[in-house]
């Protein structure tokens, strides 16, 4: 039976941080603030996968008060989500995600992001969709205060 989960994440931008999305470091004067590498795209995907399994969100597995995860690459979180799929005797079917950012331009990095996500989840890259859009200069994202991502995941689970 196919189960679907959704995920959303947003992080503020600040100087002095690296901008990492989909495991790709993107040259930009500001980066995302968070306990880990603050990769909003991978965090949203992780929550989508966990949601499809009926599990709690990423914070349940990787508390932002735990020093082990300080500046940790979010690939680790996706690998755990994949382990959870296997634990539930499931099969990840596909991922679709969208990044919401006014800048920088994301398109040149999308293919590398897809490969990083597919590798972390042990999923064929053809079944990973990653897109980017702006927020049309509206709200916090439109004011360049942060970057968000949303994702859906489909997991085939035994009945």
Q: Which pLDDT score is estimated for 99?
A: 98
**What's the rounded Cα separation, in Å, for the pair 127 and 36?**
26
**What's the rounded Cα separation, in Å, for the pair 31 and 15?**
6
- Measuring CA to CA, which residue among 76, 49, 58, 61 is closest to residue 157? 49
Q: SS3 letters for 44-79?
A: HHHHHHHHHCCCCCHHHHCCCCCHHHCCCCCHHHHH
**What's the rounded Cα separation, in Å, for the pair 114 and 63?**
26
Q: Which pLDDT score is estimated for 65?
A: 79
The 10s digit of each residue's pLDDT in 129-144 is 999 999 999 999 999 9
**What's the rounded Cα separation, in Å, for the pair 139 and 87?**
40
Q: Which pLDDT score is estimated for 82?
A: 96
Whole-number average pLDDT of the chain: 95
The 10s digit of each residue's pLDDT in 85-116 is 999 999 999 999 999 999 999 999 999 999 99
Q: Which pLDDT score is estimated for 71?
A: 77
Domains of the chain: 2-156 (3.30.1330.50)
- Write down the pTM of the prediction: 0.95
**What's the rounded Cα separation, in Å, for the pair 64 and 29?**
25
- Measuring CA to CA, which residue among 84, 9, 77 is closest to residue 54? 84
Q: Which pLDDT score is estimated for 143?
A: 97
Q: Which pLDDT score is estimated for 80?
A: 93
Q: Which pLDDT score is estimated for 159?
A: 87
Of the pLDDT bands very low, low, confident and very high (cuts 50, 70, 90), residue 9 is very high
The 10s digit of each residue's pLDDT in 27-80 is 999 999 998 999 999 999 999 999 999 999 988 877 777 777 677 899 999 999
């Amino acid at each position: 039976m196919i189960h679907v989960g959704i995920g959303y994440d947003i992080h503020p931008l600040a100087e002095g941080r690296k901008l990492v999305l989909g495991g790709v470091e993107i040259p930009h004067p500001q980066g995302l603030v968070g306990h880990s590498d603050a990769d909003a795209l991978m965090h949203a995907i992780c929550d989508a996968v966990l949601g499809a399994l009926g599990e709690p969100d990423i914070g349940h597995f990787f508390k932002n008060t735990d020093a082990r995860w300080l500046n940790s690459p979010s690939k680790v979180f996706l690998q755990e989500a994949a382990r959870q799929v296997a634990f539930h005797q499931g099969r990840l079917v596909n991922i679709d995600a969208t990044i919401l950012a006014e800048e920088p331009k994301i398109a040149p990095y999308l293919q590398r992001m897809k490969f990083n996500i597919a590798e972390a989840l042990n999923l064929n890259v053809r079944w990973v969709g990653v897109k980017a859009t702006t927020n049309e200069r509206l709200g916090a994202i439109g004011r360049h205060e942060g970057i968000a991502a949303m994702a859906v995941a489909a997991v085939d689970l035994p009945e």
